[in-house]
Structure 1
Amino acid sequence: MVLKRPILALTLLLAAAFAQSEKPLLAGGTLLTAVYPGDFGVSYVEAQPFARALGLLYWQDQGQLILGLGARRLRYVATPVPASKTALKKLVTAEQPPALRDGDRVLIPLRATSRALGALYSGSETSLRVLLPEATLRGLSHRVEGGRDVLVLKLDRDLNAAPAGAGSWWLLGLRAEEQVREVLGLYLSRVRFEPGPYGARLVLEGAEGWPVEVAYFPSEVRFYVGPRAQAATDRRPLVVLDPGHGGDDDGVRYGNLAEKAIVLKVAREAAQRLRRMGYRVVLTRDGDENPSVYTRAQWAAKADVFISLHVAGSPAVPPGPVLYRYAGSRADVPVFVARARTLLDRGGFQPVLRRFARSSSDVAALSDAVEEAFGRIGLSARRAETPLYLLEHAPGAALLVELGSLTDANDRARLSNAAQQSAYAQVIARAVARFLGGQP
């Protein structure tokens, strides 16, 4: 009986630390619930339902998540809710409150997220409301470029486009009257706007049956209609290195160390090494800019080998390098674009498809090569899976490689050291060359 009282007291203390009031939240047209962790006056909301309610792109993996609105990307690292109420208060009342992991839920700070998205936030003593203002079309232009039609929509804010059937897309949140524009394109004949419940429906007449790519830029959406022009001469394997983040998105930061700068240095040197070996290499960014996830995915779709470089920043993630491969619905289905995946799953056209796509065993072979290369510099790499959008759309052998964690002192020392950054670059170059059959 003597032992039960301290345990009961601790249980009551923890319950008090996590006590939180709630308010109804109207996000767009969806009723959600906002919570106040620790009752410190800072509202939070569960991330995934909030993203769905506002029509945002959403990606979550272990300790991090990304919300997307057109060209805008908000990246959060989810911090486990601390046991101490003092520590919880310090987190939620910070100038930039972090996301919180509460069991299976990830909560994001409502006011800060709304401000970053350009959403309207209002509240009273009884309820809260967040909505994205209606978007307005400011201009439309068309051109033919690289054997494809390019339709450019100029807007007064960022928005997302979602497929709405063959040759049509929902422009979520766009206010547009019903109208028709004639287009003299290679594929397009007319463009129609139709009002709908989620915004405006854009119908691309003539695009049915042809590939359509969507790219986002600040307050702008572009539609590329038609197949890409085929490369005429160079048949060497294409290696695409994707240094994550960039521009306004630092990625993980620890003091004066920023993820975006570390991975760019490693990617640049790895690219130089591979080019000297005779490989074709492209960087998704070669400076301090932040290409959209769709632009990166377009490069991933061309690559024989695609490697996205990142650094971890959550204390919940163990130190050391991690090799992420795409987690598909079935382990034996190769990783490439949806149509090819479907055909391979049916068992036909194998010799043809293998000319354009790598199988899951090839991805495993690339992982083996990277793991072996890390071993040469004394590091042991772990393996994991992720449903990352970029890897899903990569027809070649594709990995996301986390070089280490900035929250671990040993990893941090390596990641901030120029000689060690060069060693990481050698790991990537050696592994790619071994996978493609070269001599590292």
Structure 2
Amino acid sequence: MRRLILLLILLLGFSSAQYENRLLVGFQETQAIYPGGDSTAFGPAQLIAQALGLGYLEAGGRVYLSLGSTVSSFFITEDGPRAASRAAAYRAQGSVWVPVQQLAANLGLLYRNDYGAPVLALKPARLVEVKRANAGGAERYLLNFDREVQVQLLANNPPRLALIGVTATPDVPPNSPVTLTKTEWGSELTLPAGNDPPHLIFLPRQVIVERGNPAQPTLVVLDPGHGGEDTGVVVGKLAEKDLTLSLAQRLQKLLEARGLEVMTTRKSDASVPLLTRAQYASLGQVFLSLHAAAGAQAHVYSYPEVQTLRLLEKGRELLPKTPAAQKAVLERYVAPPGSAARFAQGVAGALAGIAVKAQASEDAMYVLSQSGGAAVLAELGFESLRTAQGRDAVAGALAQAVFSYLGLPSPAPVPSAPQPQPGATKP
């Protein structure tokens, strides 16, 4: 009897160990490991990406997995306990392993634990609408979703796209040139055939399918700092998040009036993750992040040239060798050396023209690091933004700096920022 009990214990222990080492990813079963010796499960990063259709990149001692515009980054270590304690990636057995629960939290994936076996999957998503638009001669299809999704191009002509994890789609009229079909991975979207191959642009909850190579207007990206629960600095009844949004809206009108294409990281009092702001920064020829601080002085920051992305360095190497037709496209995403510092000095000078003292310097800020264009973070003083007239004056100065950097004729001089009036606190 004692032998039988011992045998049952051994069998149960073996079965439990097998079950605990399982990892279910989508419809696939693979192995989980526990490098920290605790309950933190790690799964093979590349297999997870393949099973869920995620973007995958390993570079510079880090591994990146992406879902739509959201990116999850882990530095890689060969120290198991360190990987577990710091939620890092772990290199072992010839593969890179990532903490499953942390990955799910970063990308908004479905995660649960079934009796010791981790389960990782995509949350069902819905395609809200498909809109067609023209932008500077380019044909665009705007795909709007209710959450972040991964979209993959299956064929160029006609464009066929896999909408991974998209289980609900809008009704398409019978005579529509767009077709939607359900598939085992979610949905498939087919667009009308065209002469130019399409390319995809990922934005929060939106994917743009664009084709054509027109002379496009310059894209300026404005980033009103903070938002949602993140109020930023608060002085009296004034919150940084409100001032930056109000300033961005004024500046957007001035830039669009001159024919520039303007995109903003937020249009309302909403929270925007830092990774998303950096994703927006990578799209523009000019990126301007707006912040505020107590007092009157302004600070203008650009990213140090010595720490630029390898992608930017490679683009600069290719520019002299690129044919003219392709060069115009490359120049939209790769600015010459010193561009950001030159733009920062221009912003500081324009602010000085409205009696706002500004200091230009360099700082290795992440939100600036992903931009190949002229990226600057401007931190304005509350005193110059306190009134609507003050924000108008600052927006005018910032617009003047953008026009000057792009070589556009300077607009009419902007008025100086008025002195703050007692009781004027409404943003």
CA deviation after TM superposition for structure 1 residue 346, in Å: 5.1
Distance 1:48 1:256 in 2: 44
Report what 2:269 is aligned to.
288
Check if 1:164 corresponds to 2:154: yes
1:435 to 405, 417, 420: 405
Q: Which residue of 2 aligns with 1:3?
A: none
Instruction: Report the secondary structure of 1:164's partner residue.
Output: strand
CA apart distance, 1:175: 6.1
Tell me whether 1:203 sits opposite 2:190 in the alignment: yes
Which one of the candidate residues 333, 336, 350 is aligned to 2:315?
A: 333
Q: Distance in 1 between matches of 2:400 and 2:186?
A: 49
Q: How far off is 1:163 after superposition?
A: 1.6
Cα displacement (A) at 1:290: 5.7
Answering whether residue 338 of structure 2 is matched by residue 364 of structure 1, we say: yes
Matched residue type, 2:191: L
Given that 2:33 and 2:41 are in contact with CA atoms closer than 8 Å, whether structure 1 keeps it comes out as: yes
Where does structure 2 lack aligned partners over 5 or more consecutive residues?
1-19, 293-299, 350-356, 387-393, 415-427
**What's the CA shift for 1:223?**
5.8
Residue 117 of structure 1 is matched in structure 2 by 108
Say which of 219, 222, 227 aligns to 1:241.
Answer: 222
Measured at CA, do residues 132 and 192 of structure 1 come closer, stay the same or move farther in structure 2, by a change above 3 Å? closer
1:323 aligns with 2:303: yes
Q: Distance in 1 between matches of 2:89 and 2:131?
A: 47
Amino acid at match of 2:220: V
> Would the alpha carbon gap of residues 132 and 334 (structure 1) be closer, same or farther in structure 2, given more than 3 Å must change?
same
Q: In structure 2, what is the equivalent of residue 191 of structure 1?
A: 179
Question: C-alpha offsets along residues 288-343 of structure 1, whole Å, 9 cap, x if unaligned?
Answer: 23679999978975x552345699xxxxxxxx9561787354725259xxxxx8xx
Q: Could you tell me which of 20, 23, 26 is aligned with 2:24?
A: 26
- TM-score with structure 2 length normalisation? 0.53
CA RMSD of aligned residues (A): 6.4
1:15 aligned residue: none
Q: Is the 8 A contact 1:212 1:224 kept in 2?
A: yes
State yes or no: 1:56 paired with 2:48. no
Gaps of 5+ in 1: 1-21, 93-97, 312-319, 336-340, 404-414
- Counterpart residue type for residue 193 of structure 1: T
Q: TM-score, normalized by length of structure 1?
A: 0.51
Alignment of 1:139-150 (within 5 A): 145-146=133-134, 150=141
Q: 1:359 to 1:241 in 2, by over 3 A?
A: closer
Aligned partner of residue 241 in structure 1, secondary structure: strand
Q: Are the structure 2 counterparts of residues 123 and 273 from structure 1 closer, same or farther at C-alpha, using a change threshold of 3 Å?
A: closer
2:4 is matched with none
**TM-superposed deviation, 1:256:** 8.8
Using the alignment, how far apart are the partners of 1:145 and 1:48 within structure 2?
A: 36
Distance, in Å, in 1 between the alignment partners of 2:335 and 2:50 is: 35
Q: Corresponding residue for 2:382?
A: 418
For residue 357 of structure 1, report the CA deviation from its aligned partner: 3.5
Structure 1 segment 30-429 matched on structure 2, within 5 A:
31-35=30-34, 37=36, 39=38, 41-43=39-41, 50-51=48-49, 53-57=51-55, 69-70=67-68, 73=70, 99-100=87-88, 108=99, 110=101, 113=104, 117-125=108-116, 127-132=117-122, 135=124, 145-146=133-134, 150=141, 159-166=149-156, 167-174=159-166, 183-184=175-176, 189=177, 191=179, 193=181, 195=183, 198-207=185-194, 209=196, 211=198, 239-243=220-224, 246-247=227-228, 265-266=243-244, 269=247, 272=250, 282=262, 284=264, 285-289=266-270, 304-308=285-289, 323=303, 327-329=309-311, 331=313, 333-334=315-316, 347-349=322-324, 353-354=327-328, 357-358=331-332, 360=334, 362=336, 364-370=338-344, 377=358, 380-382=361-363, 391=371, 397-399=373-375, 401=376, 418=382
CA distance in 2, matches of 1:65, 1:417: 39
- Give the 3-state SS of the residue equivalent to 1:306 in structure 2: strand
Per-residue deviation at 1:381?
1.0
Aligned-partner Cα distance in 2 for 1:262–1:418: 8
Cα separation, partners in 2 of 1:138 and 1:200, compared to 1, 3 Å: closer
Distance 1:239 1:33, change over 3 A: same
In 1, the alpha carbon distance for the partners of 2:108 and 2:302 equals 31
Q: Give CA deviations for 1:91-120 in whole Å, capped at 9, x if unaligned.
A: 97xxxxx84477998955617835972514
**Deviation at residue 121 of structure 1 after TM alignment:** 1.8
User: 1:330 and 1:304 mapped to 2: Cα distance?
Assistant: 13
> Alignment length, in residue pairs?
349
Between the aligned partners of 1:421 and 1:363, the Cα distance in structure 2 is 32
